[in-house]
Amino acid sequence: MTAENAGTGAVPPGGDGGPAGQDPTGRRHGDVRPVDDPRPAGDRPSDRTGGPGGGPDRTADGDGGHGERETGARPGSSPTRGDAPHDDPTPDVVDEGGPLPADPSQGHPPAEDQPEDDPIALRLEQLILGAPRHYTPFQAARAAGVPMELASRFWRAMGFADIGQARALTEADVIALRRLAGLVEAGLLSEPMAIQVARSTGQTTARLAEWQIDSFLVGLTDPSELGLSRAEMAYPLVELLLPELEQFLVYVWRRQLAAVTGRVVQATDDDETVNRSLAVAFADLVGFTRLSKRLEEEELGELVEAFETTAADLVAAHGGRLIKTLGDEVLFVADDAGVAGDIALRLIETMSNDETMPALRVGMAFGTVTTRMGDVFGTTVNLASRLTSIAPKDNILVDAEMVAALGRGGDAPVGEAEGDRGRAEGDSGYRFSVQPMWRRPVRGLGLVEPWLLTRRKQA
């Protein structure tokens, strides 16, 4: 992997990024500060490079490697290997143990051996990141005061590719690494939890970034009209959109954080914040594989986008939470069984009225669910998925626990007998009707009795 991926993914190879004379934790022999130095960031020797103003020291060869520190060259003197020029942008990463070795003889490819990047890509990267490339991964880890092995785990968790020791990281990478490690040092996060934070944030933002660039470059530009290539059009477009999208992203994240925090504090006990009773539903397009072979790629993409948009809008508008989309399938949850049932029926009704969309089938189950990194897991989730696979098209199958939860909420009759009695008496108090289906074995879950859920016709 080369430095071409540096703007969107720059990662040191795990555990072996340090030079000779370094132990496996990423610190050189002779360092006087242990890895678990409790001093806050900014007070550590590795954080105090340069003079009183906090500016970085300069090394002679500009790679954080050999030569002496710049201690004040005589005016008018030309720079030598012992005197780095003042415009050398490479920050030195040194501490009391001495300067950081990083020459080819110690296992690090020199910067000139790295292939040249496309100039437009470099300009875009610097515009987005707000700073030029300064550090190799090893230098960034040292500047942040973080062991190389832990830095590798953080960067990989964020989804960034290995780049060896190319000079491809910026000051922002150092700050982000220092902040995440600082949360661990302060005891606010455990190391595994910090890795999870990095992974969940990386996965979410990676998909968001892919969608934004694809949509904006394809949907908002027609470079041929201006005599430009799409790559050349990307720079002014990103320059205009970047500050607005950044603010909007923070706003949406804060709104979502407030909503989730509100649900957590309303939980009846601590265990419910992790293991909760939820209605879980999968909605699946019928015959999607066959359909995908007949449609052009653009038509297939438009169909998937229309399905995901419709599902996301209905789920959000009626009180559910969309967990994820899988192209031809969506997974959503709701705290209330009645809410989930109403969303599922609205999806069926909406899709069946659209002649351009294939049929839909839904499977739902109610029970204890484990939530982790924005996803849901457990037997209830597996059962909902299995029910979806056996559901007839344009219909909804639910499990017995879902029927019971609907009964407790007064949304459907509890059991077959009460349903028959309600229909005979013309009772219109229920929103839904439930009908038991034949029991059948379900892979991995044994014998299951599904129920058919329909909307009750009002008298």
The sign of the dihedral angle between the CA atoms of 47, 48, 54, 58 is negative
* Dihedral over alpha carbons 386, 263, 271, 157 (to 10 degrees): 70
Q: Which of 201, 184, 17, 230 is nearest to 107 (CA)?
A: 17
**Average pLDDT value for residue range 250-279:** 78
Residues 237 and 285 in one domain: no
Last residue of a domain, one of 209, 237, 265: 265
The sign of the dihedral angle between the CA atoms of 29, 70, 177, 204 is negative
Number of domains observed in the structure of the chain? 3
**37 vs 132, higher pLDDT:** 132
pLDDT at 458: 64
Residues 29 and 155 in one domain: yes
Question: pTM for the complete prediction?
Answer: 0.59
**Hey, what are 258's tokens?**
């407030």
Last residue of a domain, one of 265, 297, 323: 265
User: What proportion of the chain, given as a percentage, has pLDDT over 90?
Assistant: 35
pLDDT at 31: 42
Which helix (H) or strand (E) is 153 found in, with range?
helix 148-157
Residues 161 and 250 in one domain: no
pLDDT digit string, tens, across residues 67-81: 333 333 333 333 333
With beta carbons less than 8 A apart as the criterion, state whether 137 and 155 touch: yes
What is the three-class DSSP state of 416? Answer: helix
Range scoring the smallest mean pLDDT among 53-67, 126-140, 252-266, 294-308: 53-67
Last residue of a domain, one of 145, 164, 198: 198
What is the three-class DSSP state of 11? Answer: strand
Looking at residue 427, which CATH number applies to its domain?
3.30.70.1230
- Rounded to an integer, what distance in angstroms lies between the CA atom of residue 164 and that of residue 4? 12
Which helix (H) or strand (E) is 291 found in, with range?
helix 288-294
**Average pLDDT value for residue range 200-229:** 76
Residues 75 and 128 in one domain: yes
Residues 22 and 130 in one domain: yes
**Average pLDDT value for residue range 188-208:** 90
User: What proportion of the chain, given as a percentage, has pLDDT over 70?
Assistant: 66
Residues 345 and 441 in one domain: yes
402, burial (CB in 10 Å: exposed 0-12, middle 13-18, buried 19+): buried
CA contacts within 13 A on the Cβ side of 250 = 5
Provide the 10 A C-beta neighbour count for residue 143: 28
Could you tell me the residue range of the domain that residue 249 belongs to? 199-265
Residues 140 and 183 in one domain: yes
Q: What is the DSSP letter of 116?
A: P
Residues 48 and 99 in one domain: yes
What is the three-class DSSP state of 355? Answer: coil
The sign of the dihedral angle between the CA atoms of 332, 335, 337, 339 is negative
Residues 17 and 110 in one domain: yes
pLDDT digit string, tens, across residues 390-416: 999 999 999 999 999 999 999 988 755
DSSP assignment of 307-341: HHHHHHHHHHHTT-EEEEE-SSEEEEEESSHHHHH
pLDDT at 404: 93
Residues 406 and 295 in one domain: yes
Residues 177 and 256 in one domain: no
Range scoring the smallest mean pLDDT among 32-41, 177-186, 291-300, 431-440: 32-41
pLDDT at 97: 36
Kindly report the average pLDDT of the chain as a whole number. 74
Residues 227 and 301 in one domain: no
Range scoring the smallest mean pLDDT among 24-33, 152-161, 183-192, 247-256: 24-33
pLDDT at 305 over 70: yes
Contacts of 291 (CB under 8 A, 6+ apart): 285, 300, 303, 358
Confidence at 225, pLDDT banded by 50, 70, 90: low
- Rounded to an integer, what distance in angstroms lies between the CA atom of residue 10 and that of residue 168? 7
pLDDT at 452 over 90: yes
